[in-house]
Amino acid sequence: MCPTFSWQCNLTILSGYYNVSIDVIVANPYSLKSDKTLAFRSFTPGKDGLEEIAPITVSTIYDDVICYKNNTEEFLFFWKTNQNQVGYTMMFDYYDKIYVSKVYFKSNGGGHFYINDEPRYFNKAHAENIVFKGVLMAKLDKYIDIPHFFTSRF
């Protein structure tokens, strides 16, 4: 049964049919949800070869993933966080420059990270200038160049 307002029912039906949020249908400019979804034909190991399964979807419903194009063949995906995740590769801002590295802290508040495999040391006062942006969650390697696959608008 539909809610009291029939337009709510229609919007819910439309959003379900098109598999999008109601925010997309009404063009809500303040929504935190994004439409960043990839779906691919997918397979899994079977008894005698591969078996086709439902498409695997790569997506996030919130704008909380950062893509870093390391080079033409490698893309790194970071999940937004402002907390250092010990032992994990982080994306962070240090004196208005963005870096990707594990960040190691000492008990005295100082520490180091790596730039091009060279250690960069910082003391406790400089540690306050590290602003974490995200933690590495996935890496995608491209082996063959296919036109228009992984393109950038800029």
pLDDT higher at 129 or 149: 129
Neighbouring C-alpha atoms within 13 Å toward the C-beta of 124: 4
pTM across the whole model: 0.67
Q: Taking a C-beta distance cutoff of 8 angstroms, is the pair 111, 127 a contact?
A: yes
pLDDT higher at 110 or 12: 110
Q: Taking a C-beta distance cutoff of 8 angstroms, is the pair 104, 90 a contact?
A: no
Domains and CATH numbers, the chain: 1-31 (no CATH), 32-61 (no CATH), 64-144 (2.10.109.10)
Write the pLDDT tens digit of every residue in 25-41: 776 666 555 556 777 88
* Amino acid sitting at position 84: N
